[in-house]
Every structure is written in C-alpha cells, then in structure tokens.
Amino acid sequence: MSHVHSTISKRSFKHLTPIQRGQIQALLEQKVAKTHIAKQLGISRSTLYYELKRGTAEQVNQYGKTYYRYFADTGQLVYEQRRKHSRHPFKFALVQPFLQYVTEQIKTHHLSPDAARGRAVRDKRFPHVVSTKTLYNYINLQLIPVKNIDLPLRVRLRISRRRARRHRRLTGSSIEQRPEPINSRKEFGHWEIDTIVNARNQGPVLLVLDERMTRKRHMVKIEHKTVAAVKQGLQQILAQYPDTKHLVFKSITSDNGSEFAQLTEHFPSIRFYYAHPYSSFERGTNEKQNSLVRRFIPKGSDLAKVSSKTIAMIEHWINELPRKIFAYEDAESKFQIELSRVS
C-alpha cells in the first residue's frame, strides 16, 4: 500500500465575491450580529473583520457629525486595487543589462549560464538579476539570443554501455589506502593525473594534472602515451615549482593505464595511488575538467595540429573559470592562496 506524504496543505479559504460583500452590507443594515453574519456566509470571523476594515468609509450626517459605514462597493474596489499590486512583476525588462552580459559570457567566453550569473552576482555588476533556473527558462522560451547548441552540456549525448570488468594487478598503492584528508579534499598538494588521447589513440596526447582541493589544472602536450613521455611531461610540470615541489606535489592519483605504471620508481618523493579498473568516477576532477577541454578540442581532433599557445589558452580559461563550489571564485585564485602558505 502506498502512502502520499505532502508538506503542502490544501488551501481552505477563498476570496470574498461581490455578492457576499453585498450580503454583508445588507445584514449589517438589518443590525445582524457579526458572528451570525460570518456563520451565514460560511466564512471565519477574522475574514469578516478584515473585510469590514477594508470597506468601511467615513461619512458625515445632516447634523455634521462623523460616522463610519461599510459599503460593498468600497470593499470590492479596495480588494481589486490590492490584488493588482500583489502580483510579482515580470523582471525581463528590468534585467536587460544583466541578460546582455550573460549572453556575451556564454557566446564569447563559453561560460555556463550559472557561471556567468555567479560571476555577475559576486562582482555586484547589476542591481537586478534573475536566478539560474530563470535564465534557462528564458533560453527555452527564446527570450534571449542563446540556444541550447551554445550550451555544450545541454546537447551532449552519452550512451552507457555495460562492460565486463577485467581486473588488473594494481601497481603502487590502491586508492583504498588513500588517507581521508586526501579523499575529503581538505589538504593541499594532492593531484589527479590523466591523458587526453588523440584521434585513433595515435600521436601526441595531452597530459593533465588537477589539484584536488583547488581544482587548479596543468596541461602539457607529450609525444606519445608512453611511460617515458609521461615521465618527461610530469618533470616539465614539476619544474615550475623548483623550491616547493615537495610541498605542492604530495600525492598523485591515476588510473591503471600502462603509461602510469612506473611513476613510483621515477618520482619516489611523491605518493602514488591507483584507482580501480573502469572507475573513472574515482578521479572526478580529471573527468570534469577533461569535459571542459572538449569544448575547445572535440573528440577525434588531431592533437598534432593543436598549438602550445592554444593549450595554454585552454588551461588559463579553465583555471579562471568561476566555480559555484567556491562561491564563484576561480581555481587559480584558490591555488595561489594555498601556494603562498607553503612557500
């Protein structure tokens, strides 16, 4: 047997009609008690008293004395005026400068609607904004010149395929042995490493490294998806921190690809952890940031034709991207704060 639990109670009241207001006026003129009027109309006494307050007007008799009397027409007029002003105004015209800014950020800088809105709110650029959900509603209603094709995550189709798991002997430490401060992202200096492959898995690949706490990303192009090339690419990244690399690179987590099999031997000062086979979710930062790279370099692209300048531009864009998880601060700012603490 199913049970329905709802926190929303059914509305038990209704607005008074013009006919009911006329009845109230007639009964008052007959000197009927207010309690009996409420029962006869089937309304609460508080509703009646609110209505009397709404529709009572000041009058002057023939002797010049002031008195007060309820009029059904007065009550109806006041009710209609208040209802007119009770509706929330449509903000579309009010937020035009904000919408123009969001449109430019989406089309020119490839930001999501939420990231564009978050940056505007953080910087207090506009006095009036709308929510992220309302932005998507405007896009669906074609009220702003942005289409779903301009939003990569809205048109991506991913087909899920079941694959039999093939267990391979883990080299180095299993991710199950990774300490809680690393898992919870509360400690700086722990990274995830991955490769973004070329068309047909041949030729150059991108070696990417993501710091788990701040989401800072490093990207370098290496010649092949081999142990030697990965070693050379990782050395190139570590060389950017000659005095602090032992504090900036405490651990690195990778998948079970053969190109990462000997990292422990080449970099003994860094702890290496290996995720389970076919468990990309255990390196969530890698996967998320790889999807950002694919906005600029779609799958199947020839990485040999992608220049180092373009790779640097993509890396900079990712690191400067406003992050909702950081209250729309960017990864680069968070990384520099942590780096200053260990320098």
Q: What is the CATH number of the domain that holds 315?
A: 3.30.420.10
C-alpha dist (Å) from residue 57 to 78, 79, 294: 11, 14, 70
335 and 227 both lie in a single domain:
yes
pLDDT digits (tens, 9 = 90+) for 50-97: 999 999 988 888 888 888 999 999 989 988 888 876 655 567 778 999
Residue 306: HSE in the Cβ half-sphere, 13 Å Cα cutoff:
28
Q: Which of 154, 183, 200 is the last residue of a domain?
A: 154
pLDDT of residue 115: 93
Note whether 107 and 251 are same-domain residues: no
Do 242 and 334 have their domain in common? yes
C-alpha–C-alpha distance, residues 290 and 292, integer Å: 5
Contacts of 124 (CB under 8 A, 6+ apart): none
* 114, 241, 245, 269, 273 from 262: Cα distances, Å: 41, 22, 19, 13, 12
Same domain, 181 and 321: yes
Q: Are residues 241 and 146 part of one domain?
A: no
Q: pLDDT digit string (tens) for 310-335?
A: 999 999 999 999 999 999 999 999 99
In this prediction, residue 48 carries a pLDDT of 93
Q: Residues 73, 102: one domain?
A: no
Same domain, 194 and 258: yes
- Asked if residue 110 lies in contact with residue 295, where contact means CB atoms within 8 angstroms, the answer is yes
Tell me: the pLDDT tens digits for 121-153? 999 999 999 999 999 988 888 888 888 777 766
Q: How many domains does the chain have?
A: 3
Residue 13 is assigned to a structural domain of this protein: no
**In degrees rounded to 5, what are phi and psi of residue 79?**
-60, -45
Boundary of a domain, candidates 57, 86, 115 = 86
Pair 230, 238: CB distance under 8 Å? no
pLDDT greater than 50 at residue 12: yes
For residue 49, what are the domain limits? Answer: 18-86
- Has residue 179 been placed in a domain? yes
Q: What is the predicted pLDDT for the residue at 321?
A: 94
C-alpha Rg value of the chain to the nearest Å: 33
Tell me if 128 is assigned to some domain.
yes
Rounded distance between C-alpha atoms, residue 28 and residue 332, angstroms: 73
For the chain, helix, strand, coil in percent to 5 are 50, 15, 40
pTM over 0.85: no
Phi-psi region of 75 (alpha: psi -120 to 50; beta: other; left: phi over 0): alpha
- Please report whether residue 161 resides in a domain: no
| Single residue among 86, 109, 128 that ends a domain in this structure | 86
CATH number, domain of 31, equals 1.10.10
* Cα–Cα distance measured from residue 328 to residue 21, given in angstroms and rounded to the nearest whole number: 54
Please give the pLDDT value at position 150: 74
Domain check: are 109 and 71 in the same one?
Answer: no
| CA dist., res. 286 & res. 73, Å (int) | 69
162 within a domain of the structure (yes/no): no
Report the SS3 class of residue 30. coil
Q: Has residue 230 been placed in a domain? A: yes
Residue 167 in any domain: the answer is no
Same-domain status, 323 and 197: yes
State the burial class of residue 305 (Cβ atoms within 10 Å of its Cβ: 0-12, 13-18, 19+).
exposed
**Contact between residue 157 and residue 259 where contact means Cβ atoms under 8 Å apart:** no
Backbone angles phi, psi at 112, to 5 degrees: -80, 160
Residue 182 shares a structural domain with residue 297 = yes
Ranges of H-type helices in the chain: 18-29, 34-41, 45-55, 72-86, 96-109, 113-123, 132-140, 152-155, 180-183, 227-238, 245-248, 263-266, 284-293, 308-319, 331-342
The reply to whether 232 and 109 lie within a common domain is: no
pLDDT confidence of residue 80:
85
Clarify whether residues 217 and 133 are in a common domain.
no
The verdict on residue 2 lying in a domain is no
Question: Alpha-carbon distance 245 to 154, whole Å?
Answer: 39
